[in-house]
Amino acid sequence: MSGINYSEKIPNNVNLVSDRTLQRALEHWQPHFLQWWGEMGPTDFQAADVYLRTAVSVDAQGWAQYGAVKMPDYRWGIFLADQVPNRTIGFGDQMGQPVWQQIPGEYRSTLRRLIVTQGDTEPASVEQQRLLGHTCPSLYDLRNLFQVNVEEGRHLWAMVYLLHAYFGRDGREEAEELLARHSGDADKPRILTTFNEPVTDWLSFFCFTYFTDRDGKYQLKSLAESAFDPLSRTCRFMLTEEAHHMFVGETGIGRVVKRTLEVMKELGTDDPAKIRAHGAVDLPLLQKYLNFWCSSSLDLFGSEISSNSAANFAHGLKGRPDESQYEDHVLRNASFHLRMPEGDQDVPMLNALNEIMRESYLKDCEIGLKRWNRVIERAGHAFRLTLPAPQFRRSIGAWAGLPVDPAGKLMDKEAFAKQLPAWVPSEADKAFVRSLMHKVIEPGKMASWVAPPDRGINNLPVEYEYVKLH
């Protein structure tokens, strides 16, 4: 394990002091990052003491330290998972050869693009969520929001480190651009559409952390397989932090379900209007939010057939998540059965890697649904939450713009347009959800639409004052 020197300006385990030029470049970028955080990060809570975890090492036994921190004083650092001795490339045409500590010239621009695209999502999500603090359903949730936010900030650092350390002047320019694009900006939006969708209510936030952060998990998993070893090591450590973000989503939605079931029991009805009048989220409404965020996140995996993904795999730049679980790591002779609008077809597996990733992602998404449905079933209700079919409401790939219902059935365009408000949140639904969003900041108290969590953070009670507002 490599230790981290906290007396340094930028905590790190990459021996930054030994490279003065790199250190100076990053120290030059740091105030720009802090300025971005001040302008685009969580509004109005910069003076609050937040009970946050901070990465202090990459030791599996205790990599984080917990304590009250003002967000602008958070120690964003650069941590790479320990080097695996004699690591070799695990897939593609160069399988079995030693991994790269420097970037081969021919892959430079592709790797830069991959790193910039990943890096762009990190600050984007902070921007998307910047107003949520004002309507937090509890101090516990407020703390979790800020925890996610500061860690996405650190993930930006992780990518910026790679850009500065391995891409020279181009990398430094890209690092500045990562602070210049903004989520939803008309002139300079973030690169990926989902990261330009506003996240203005907490139901969306829970869906975002469940579905969109999970896309992040799958991207990081596939980059963790990369032959470019520093990228692999960075992503492996990011995954450690990412797990909490999805925990926030899964338990958040689970608590919404729990609260709704309580209200249904109390009122003795499943009538959505009555449940809403009682300040809770009816299950069909929750289903619409799942439909929206799941379908939006599915686009992030790209087209069903992609020669870029094939090349990235063949060259060893980006593998499949959990590559070691597969038998064939070269895929030169494998084919894949694909459902396409014009009919099913078999395509070379190398070209279908986006779809393979999308499928394993959806399997991971199912886990939470099973858990929530078990709770609904135990409460004696027939309603079941489902994931929309991967062809539903797509805007990228073969199914883009096609009228497919959430069950995956291709339908008439007009009928689709008419039905859509029944499948994704309508303006009235969104207005209702907005009407539920009131700030609750008494320690231990929860908003009307969400049950308390089963336990607090780091063994503290739920009633703990996780954010001291002053």
- Chain contacts with Fe ion (rule: CB under 5 A): 122, 152, 155, 213, 216, 242, 245
**Nearest distance from C-beta of residue 416 to Fe ion, angstroms:** 32
Cα–Cα nearest to 252, from 205, 285, 199: 205
**Nearest distance from C-beta of residue 359 to Fe ion, angstroms:** 21
> What angle (nearest 5°) sits at the alpha carbon of residue 443, between those of residues 257 and 136?
55
The one-letter code for the residue type at 360 is: S
**Nearest distance from C-beta of residue 85 to Fe ion, angstroms:** 28
CB closer to Fe ion out of 216 and 252: 216
CB closer to Fe ion out of 145 and 264: 145
SS3 453: coil
DSSP 278: T
**Nearest distance from C-beta of residue 122 to Fe ion, angstroms:** 5
CB closer to Fe ion out of 232 and 287: 232
**Nearest distance from C-beta of residue 251 to Fe ion, angstroms:** 15
**Nearest distance from C-beta of residue 245 to Fe ion, angstroms:** 4
Report the Cα–Cα distance between both ends of the chain, in Å, rounded: 39
**Nearest distance from C-beta of residue 204 to Fe ion, angstroms:** 15
The one-letter code for the residue type at 286 is: L
Cα–Cα nearest to 408, from 394, 389, 421, 424: 389
**Nearest distance from C-beta of residue 358 to Fe ion, angstroms:** 19
CB closer to Fe ion out of 213 and 225: 213
CB closer to Fe ion out of 242 and 355: 242
CB closer to Fe ion out of 153 and 388: 153
Q: Please write down the long-range contacts of 130-133, taking CB distance under 8 Å and 24 or more positions apart.
A: 130/40, 130/41, 130/42, 130/43, 131/43, 131/200, 132/42, 132/199, 132/200, 132/201, 132/202, 132/205, 133/42, 133/43, 133/44, 133/45
The Cα 100–Cα 230 span in angstroms is: 8
CB closer to Fe ion out of 141 and 213: 213
CB closer to Fe ion out of 120 and 152: 152
Q: Are 14 and 52 in contact (CB under 8 A)?
A: no
The Cα 332–Cα 410 span in angstroms is: 33
Query: Concatenated DSSP letters for 50-93?
Result: EEEEEE----TT--EEEEEEEGGG----B--PPPPTT-B--SST
**Nearest distance from C-beta of residue 216 to Fe ion, angstroms:** 5
CB closer to Fe ion out of 152 and 282: 152
Phi, psi for residue 196 in degrees, rounded to 5: -110, 0
The Cα 269–Cα 322 span in angstroms is: 45
**Nearest distance from C-beta of residue 380 to Fe ion, angstroms:** 35
CB closer to Fe ion out of 213 and 282: 213
CB closer to Fe ion out of 122 and 299: 122
CB closer to Fe ion out of 175 and 264: 175
**Nearest distance from C-beta of residue 297 to Fe ion, angstroms:** 12
SS3 332: coil
The Cα 283–Cα 289 span in angstroms is: 10
The Cα 338–Cα 349 span in angstroms is: 10
The Cα 17–Cα 23 span in angstroms is: 7
Q: Are 254 and 454 in contact (CB under 8 A)?
A: no
**Nearest distance from C-beta of residue 113 to Fe ion, angstroms:** 18
Phi, psi for residue 262 in degrees, rounded to 5: -60, -45
Helix residue spans in 167-269 (DSSP H): 168-180, 202-207, 213-223, 229-267
Q: Are strands 467-468 and 345-348 parallel, antiparallel or unpaired?
A: unpaired
